[in-house]
Amino acid sequence: MTATTTGWGVELHGVTQRYGDVVALDDVTLTVRPGTITGLLGRNGSGKSTLASLVAAFRRPTAGRVLVDGEDPWENERVVPGVCFVRESGDVLDDYSLRDNLAYVSGARPAFSHELAGELLDLFELEPRRKPSKLSRGKKSAFGIVLGLASRAPLTILDEVHLGLDAPSRYAFYDALLADYAEHPRTLVLSSHLIGEIERLLEDVVVLDRGRVLVAQDAEGLRAEGLSVTGPADAVERFVAGRDVLASQRLAGTVQTTVRGVLTEGEVRRARDAGLELGPVPLQDLFVHLTDPQRTAGAADASRAADR
C-alpha cells in the first residue's frame, strides 16, 4: 500500500446484521465514494455503529457482502491496515502512555504521520506522558481523534468521536480534519448527531433509519431537496397540495411549511407571484423531519405492503 492517495470506496450489497432477534441492519445496499467525506447519520439505534463495525471487519454480516476497496475486508491482510475505525469508547491501551499508544498504532498504520500526531497533541493540549485511563472523557475523545487523523488511513471511520469534547475542541477538530483532508485526500466517514456542526464538512450523506437506508446521496443535492415555503395559509396550502410535506407550523394567518422536492423555474415564479417566501432548510431540520417516527413508520408499512 502506498501513502494515502484518493482513499478507498466502500460497497454494501444486501447486508443484514442480526443480534439474536434484533435486526440491526436490514438488507442494506449503499456505496461510499472514494475520496469523500460522508456523514453517517441516523437516530439512536438506527444501525450506524453496526455498519461501521462491519466495514472495519470487527464482525461479519449475517448476510450480504461488504467490499472495501473492492475486497471483502474480513481477515484481509491488505485491507485491514488501511481501515481506521475510531469509536468514542476509545480502543486504546489504557495503562500505557499516549506516547506508547502512538508508537503502537503507528507500527500498524503504513501512512501514520508523527508530525500531524504531534500537532494534534498540542492542539488538544494532551501531554504524551499521561495514560488514557487518567484522562477526562473529552481528552480521551481528543486522543482518539489524534490516532484517527494521524493514521491517514485510506478509509477512516470516526464514530461519534466528538462526544465529551467541548465546543472549542469540536471546532478545532473539524478545522484540523478539513485542513489535513485537503492536503491528504482520503475517504472519511463521520458519524455524529451534531449535524448542524458537521454539515459543512460533508460531501455525501447516508441516513439510516431502523436498520434501513433512508437517504444516500450528495449533501448538496439533499439540501436542495428541502424547501421552506412561508406565506398566507391559503396560498401555502394551495401551493404545497400534492407535494411531500415534511412539516408545517401555523402562526395566526401565516404558515411555514417544509417540503421535499426540487421546484422548476416556473414553480418558483408561481410561488413568488402568490406572495410566498421560499428558503433553504438546514440539513439538521431536514434530518429531523425525514426521521420523524410517524413518517418513517408510514413509509415502512408501504414498503412492506409493496414487498408482499
Residues engaged in binding ligand ATP (CB under 6 A): 19, 22, 24, 42, 44-50
Radius of gyration of the chain (CA): 22
Query: Is residue 166 exposed (0-12), middle (13-18) or buried (19+ Cβ within 10 Å)?
Result: exposed
Q: Which residues 6+ apart lie within 8 Å of 191 measured at CB?
A: 39, 40, 41, 48, 49, 52, 157, 158, 159, 160
For residue 107 the three cell numbers come to: 507500527
CB 216, min distance to ligand ATP, A: 15
CB 273, min distance to ligand ATP, A: 44
User: Within 10 Å of residue 238's Cβ, how many Cβ atoms?
Assistant: 12
Q: Which is nearer to ligand ATP, 19 or 171 (CB)?
A: 19
**In angstroms, rounded to a whole number, what is the distance separating the alpha carbons of residues 269 and 263?**
10
Bridge partners for 250 per DSSP: 255
CB 256, min distance to ligand ATP, A: 29
Q: Which is nearer to ligand ATP, 161 or 227 (CB)?
A: 161
For residue 141 the three cell numbers come to: 475523545
- The residue whose grid cell reads 489504557 is 94
Q: Which is nearer to ligand ATP, 117 or 213 (CB)?
A: 213
CB 211, min distance to ligand ATP, A: 7
CB 50, min distance to ligand ATP, A: 3
Q: Which is nearer to ligand ATP, 23 or 278 (CB)?
A: 23
SS3 303: helix
For residue 221 the three cell numbers come to: 443535492
Q: Which is nearer to ligand ATP, 87 or 152 (CB)?
A: 87
Q: Which is nearer to ligand ATP, 54 or 255 (CB)?
A: 54
Q: Which is nearer to ligand ATP, 45 or 279 (CB)?
A: 45
**In angstroms, rounded to a whole number, what is the distance separating the alpha carbons of residues 74 and 86?**
18
| Interstrand relation of 37-42 and 204-209 (parallel, antiparallel or unpaired) | parallel
Q: Which is nearer to ligand ATP, 42 or 164 (CB)?
A: 42
CB 41, min distance to ligand ATP, A: 9
**In angstroms, rounded to a whole number, what is the distance separating the alpha carbons of residues 266 and 185?**
40
- Give the CA count within 13 Å in the CB-facing half-sphere of 90: 24
CB 305, min distance to ligand ATP, A: 24
Q: Is the dihedral of CA 3, 147, 169, 218 positive or negative?
A: positive
CB 118, min distance to ligand ATP, A: 31
